[in-house]
Amino acid sequence: MASNAACIFCKIIKGEIPSFKLFESDKVFAFLDIQPLSKGHALVVPKFHGEKLADIPDDQLSEILPIVKRVVKATDAVDYNILQNNGRIAHQEVDHVHFHIIPKPNKEEGLS
Ligand code: 5GP
Ligand code: ZN
């Protein structure tokens, strides 16, 4: 399914819900997480609505990782986590595939 009217990330992609947008192309959208685990916590999503990674066509998915890399560089993070949850047991809350970029500042910067 290309888009799901009930999906919060599809609404963000369409601009129906505001977000702090970082990047947009015809297949990919990136924005800041509303409840950041660290400064710069971002989400990169395919515009194609799919619940889990295996639901996303390869031609959509192949455009994601280069954008994850660009967002990582934009954060200036030296250490960071890339996280992608699939299913409730795996802590997925929003059923639209997304990649978390979670910068891990060092202790001197006073953040987690
Ligand atoms: P999950 O647990 O599904 O891997 O992560 C979902 C993420 O989406 C959470 O980190 C949560 O803070 C973020 N999120 C949920 N709703 C919104 C929203 O309306 N706007 C933004 N920017 N992030 C959201
Ligand atoms: Zn969606």
ipTM: 0.99
**Residue 49: helix, strand or coil by DSSP?**
coil
- What is the predicted pLDDT for the residue at 85? 98
Domain boundaries, the chain: 8-109
Q: How far is the CA of 69 from the centre of ligand 1 (A)?
A: 20
- Strands 42-46 and 21-24, by their bridges, are unpaired
pLDDT tens digits for 39-84? 999 999 999 999 999 999 999 999 999 999 999 999 999 999 999 9
Please list, in sequence order, all residues whose beta carbon lies within 8 angstroms of the beta carbon of residue 64, skipping any fewer than 6 positions away.
28, 44, 46, 99
CA quadruple 21, 24, 28, 30: dihedral, nearest 10: -20
Q: What is the pTM of this model?
A: 0.94
Query: Does 109 score more than 90 pLDDT?
Result: no
98 is catalytic: yes
**CB-based burial label for 30 (10 Å; 0-12, 13-18, 19+):** buried
Q: Which two tokens stand for residue 80?
A: 């960071």
- CATH code of 8-109, in short, is 3.30.428.10
Least confident range from 37-41, 63-67, 95-99, 107-111: namely: 107-111
pLDDT tens digits for 22-35? 999 999 999 999 99
Q: How far is the CA of 65 from the centre of ligand 2 (A)?
A: 19
